[in-house]
């Protein structure tokens, strides 16, 4: 999972790509746990694009995706947000959610 800038995230959306946008803040303890779960998910789905975005440096996305809190995982299909979650629960849950939403 790679750290993306606002420009990289915008290019991903404008390119009508499919993948995940993970929004976090560095001082959020729950975000650190969610990041570790997503690292496992990324290792199991190497073909999937997953962008990690520090919401402190990309506040425009909070409005665009109506992000209520962090961590937030936004599911993007062909450049459009189709779902988002705030409770990451577990790696198996995330894998199942990805299969259900993006496939």
Q: What is the pLDDT of residues 78-92, one digit of tens each?
A: 999 999 999 999 999
The predicted pLDDT at position 103 comes to: 79
CA 7 to chain centre: 15
CATH among 3.40.30.10, 3.40.50.10090, 3.30.70.141, 3.30.70.920 for 2-102: 3.40.30.10
Measure the CA angle with vertex 75, ends 72 and 76; round to 5°: 130
The predicted pLDDT at position 66 comes to: 96
Domain layout of the chain by residue ranges? 2-102
Three-state SS for 42? helix
pTM of the predicted model, to two decimals? Answer: 0.95
Residue 67: phi, psi to the nearest 5?
Answer: -70, 125
Angle between helices 29-44 and 91-102 in degrees, nearest 10: 60
């Amino acid at each position: 999972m790679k750290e993306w800038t606002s420009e990289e995230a915008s290019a991903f959306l404008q390119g009508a790509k499919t993948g995940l946008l993970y929004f976090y803040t560095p001082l959020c303890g729950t975000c650190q746990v969610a990041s570790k779960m997503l690292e496992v998910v990324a290792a199991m789905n190497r073909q999937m694009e997953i962008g990690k975005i520090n919401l402190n440096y990309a506040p425009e996305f909070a409005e665009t995706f109506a992000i209520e809190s962090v961590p937030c995982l936004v599911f993007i299909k062909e450049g459009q947000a189709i779902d988002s979650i705030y409770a990451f629960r577990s790696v198996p849950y995330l894998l199942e959610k990805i299969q259900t939403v993006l496939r």
